Structure 1
Amino acid sequence: MGCIRVGKGPVLVLVHGFLSGLSYWDKQIESLSTRFEVIAMDLPGYGGETQQTGLDTVAGFARTILEQLDKLGVKNFHLVGHSMGGMIAQEIALQAPERVNRLVLYGTGPMGELPGRFEPLKVSMEKVEKDGTKEAKHYTVASWFKQGDQDANFEPGMELAKDVSLQTYINGLNAMAGWSAVGRLDQIQSHTLVIWGDIDRSYIWQQPYALWQEIQNSSLAVMPLCSHNAHLENPQLFNQLLYDFLTHE
């Protein structure tokens, strides 16, 4: 499993989303490793691990991360999850509540079928099974930015997405579609920050709102004029939100 571990301080684990990789967090690793020991991993099937086939359950991804942290000797940690990675982070917090100190759920929600997404997951699966993933990857990654494929971060995002196999792509959609934390959010014990870009087309307001309302000890930050990849569109604000939340007494 591809992994980067840098910095000193409390351990901060970053979990990327669908079609992404640990390099999606470069702007956060550079900033936050001055105060935290930052660990970022490539999920199986993504980033530098595309020779593997990605898993088809969120719970399986969660177990994989916990096993990797065991190998690294990490017992307790702060946890940040983005998009599908936010679903995985919720599952980690539910599977191992005693290990997660503070939890950040960013651009994500508890409803795996993604109501209100720019297109239903079922439609995405039908398209790639018929036509392959090239076009689907382009419009999916473009949908994550306010400026679409004109954003400076679009091309690096496509470089990560292009090597994801058809089976990993389908497995990722199935993992999300087959998962839900609805009815379980009140079991999350960690102090939680929910972050959402106010023009996110992948996770509409219903999703972060449910997290904020149902997780007992939670706060909400809405990033204005930002889409699904708010951490790339406005990294200064995003990093400050993380730092303030993780260091607040």
Structure 2
Amino acid sequence: MPRRSTSTDLQHVTVHGHRRAFVRRGSGPAVLLLHGLGCDHTTWDPVINSLARTHTVIAPDLLGHGASDKPRADYSVGGYANGMRDLLTILGIDSATVVGHSFGGGVAMQFAYQYPERTERLVLVGSGGLGPEVSPAIRAITTPGFQQAMGVLALPGLRHATTTAMRVLSRSGVRQLRDLDEVADIYDSFADPRARAAIRHVVRAVVDWRGQVVTMADRAYLTEAMPMCVIWGADDQVVPVDHADNARALAPTARVEVIPNAGHFPHKDHPERFVKVVRDFIRTTAPSTYDRERWRALLEEGAPLPPVQAEAGDAPLAPVHPVRATGA
């Protein structure tokens, strides 16, 4: 069966003519939960109520996903960041701790980059944007025949048999197969041709045949001005856990937590531990305060350039920083 919302409080607002679905629970400082590719707000069901005991939790269905509209529209990470800004504005929320899973992590990073004044903290969960590697299944979505092939694979009989097998395998105890229940839900959503088209547009905006295109590497130095936490499942088969090490290198001030015996959805595999990590991170860090002069200074200084090789075989020279611009 396709994914169905277990939420009795699913709400809708219309933004720029498109209907957006979201769940709002709890009270207190805001936490925005952004789901991954092909998922919807229900991926956060194991953790929403616990987080809502201390925070206002907003869990939307991104455009093209779940119960939100699936128009022919802008499915870039920048477009999604704009949509989240507008949703928070309609809901009367000025700033939030932004939590993004997988593709939602890329949206979260883009949101923080575009709207630092509205981002208190950044939490990335098995996130895209931290390295080129990604599973072959996601790269396959970029191929020209994806829409037609999925139209056949999404026919009721074949889809039902395949998703049933996936759900059985996910309960087999084989750690590499634990995420197949979520994959089955995503597969089920492809029964809707509008959902297939939306997913194809999303993936083509961030992935090509070589892997992820969009990266935070060139802007990671800006995280110096914002608390960041990175959470990964040790057995992630979608985005390699090695990308958590990339996060350490790109953003040395980030807090990194690798959860054992967890796959691409650590918030579902170990919800209590996930909530503890997120809540402790929020409790022990002050929300980022946007300072235009500090932000400008970081932009002017820029990121350190990579080590320069003088000649093949020579030891690398020290990293080079661009000359900071000064007034006349």
- TM-score category of the 2 structures, normalised to the smaller one: 0.7 to 0.9
Give the Å deviation of 1:134.
6.9
CA radius of gyration, larger in: 2
Which segment is superposed worse, 211-220 or 82-91?
Answer: 211-220
Q: Does residue 58 in structure 1 map to residue 77 in structure 2?
A: yes
- Out of 112, 120, 135, the residue aligned to residue 118 of structure 1 is 135
Q: Which residue of 1 aligns with 2:150?
A: 132
Contact 1:21/1:160, CA 8 A, preserved across alignment? no
Which segment is superposed worse, 53-62 or 100-109?
Answer: 53-62
Give the Å deviation of 1:91.
0.4
- Code of the residue aligned with 1:131 in structure 2: it is A
- Out of 79, 94, 111, the residue aligned to residue 113 of structure 2 is 94
Alpha carbons of 1:70 and 1:181: their partners in 2 closer, same or farther (altered >3 Å)? same
Give the Å deviation of 1:101.
0.9
Q: Which residue of 1 aligns with 2:295?
A: none
CA separation in 1, counterparts of 2:87 and 2:58?
11
Give the Å deviation of 1:155.
5.3
- Out of 136, 141, 148, the residue aligned to residue 177 of structure 2 is 148
CA separation in 2, counterparts of 1:155 and 1:10?
34
Query: What RMSD in Å do the two structures reach over aligned CA positions?
Result: 2.8
CA separation in 1, counterparts of 2:191 and 2:206?
20
Give the Å deviation of 1:120.
6.6
Which segment is superposed worse, 84-93 or 171-180?
Answer: 171-180
How high is the TM-score relative to the length of structure 1? 0.86
Q: Which residue of 2 aligns with 1:185?
A: 220
SS in 1 for 2:37: coil
Q: Deviations over 1:46-88 (max 9, x none)?
A: 0111543464311111111111111111111111000000000
CA separation in 1, counterparts of 2:153 and 2:231?
29
Q: Which residue of 1 aligns with 2:271?
A: 235
SS in 2 for 1:103: strand
Contact 2:232/2:244, CA 8 A, preserved across alignment? yes
SS in 1 for 2:142: helix
CA separation in 2, counterparts of 1:50 and 1:202?
26
Unaligned runs of 5+ in 2: 1-19, 208-212, 286-328
How high is the TM-score relative to the length of structure 2? 0.67
Q: Deviations over 1:137-177 (max 9, x none)?
A: 979xx69x736378666655555565462211211211222
Give the Å deviation of 1:89.
0.3
Q: Which residue of 2 aligns with 1:222?
A: 258
Q: Does residue 212 in structure 1 map to residue 239 in structure 2?
A: no
Q: Which residue of 1 aligns with 2:199?
A: 169
CA separation in 1, counterparts of 2:187 and 2:139?
22
Q: Which residue of 2 aligns with 1:108?
A: 127
Contact 1:82/1:107, CA 8 A, preserved across alignment? yes
- Paired residue total: 244
CA separation in 2, counterparts of 1:150 and 1:63?
30
Alpha carbons of 1:173 and 1:157: their partners in 2 closer, same or farther (altered >3 Å)? closer
Alpha carbons of 1:51 and 1:93: their partners in 2 closer, same or farther (altered >3 Å)? closer
SS in 1 for 2:124: strand
Alpha carbons of 1:54 and 1:105: their partners in 2 closer, same or farther (altered >3 Å)? farther
- Code of the residue aligned with 2:63 in structure 1: it is P
CA separation in 2, counterparts of 1:2 and 1:149?
28
**Pairwise mapping of residues 196-211 of structure 1 onto structure 2 (< 5 A)?**
196-211=232-247
Give the Å deviation of 1:3.
1.3
CA separation in 2, counterparts of 1:238 and 1:226?
11
Give the Å deviation of 1:242.
1.0
Q: Deviations over 1:182-212 (max 9, x none)?
A: 2111113320100010111221134222222
CA separation in 1, counterparts of 2:28 and 2:147?
45
Identity of aligned residues (%): 25
SS in 2 for 1:199: coil
- Code of the residue aligned with 2:28 in structure 1: it is G
- Code of the residue aligned with 1:9 in structure 2: it is G
Higher relative contact order (CA 8 A, sep 6+): 1
**Pairwise mapping of residues 21-32 of structure 1 onto structure 2 (< 5 A)?**
21-32=40-51
CA separation in 2, counterparts of 1:51 and 1:196?
29
Unaligned runs of 5+ in 1: none
CA separation in 1, counterparts of 2:185 and 2:98?
24
- Code of the residue aligned with 2:200 in structure 1: it is I
CA separation in 2, counterparts of 1:218 and 1:111?
13
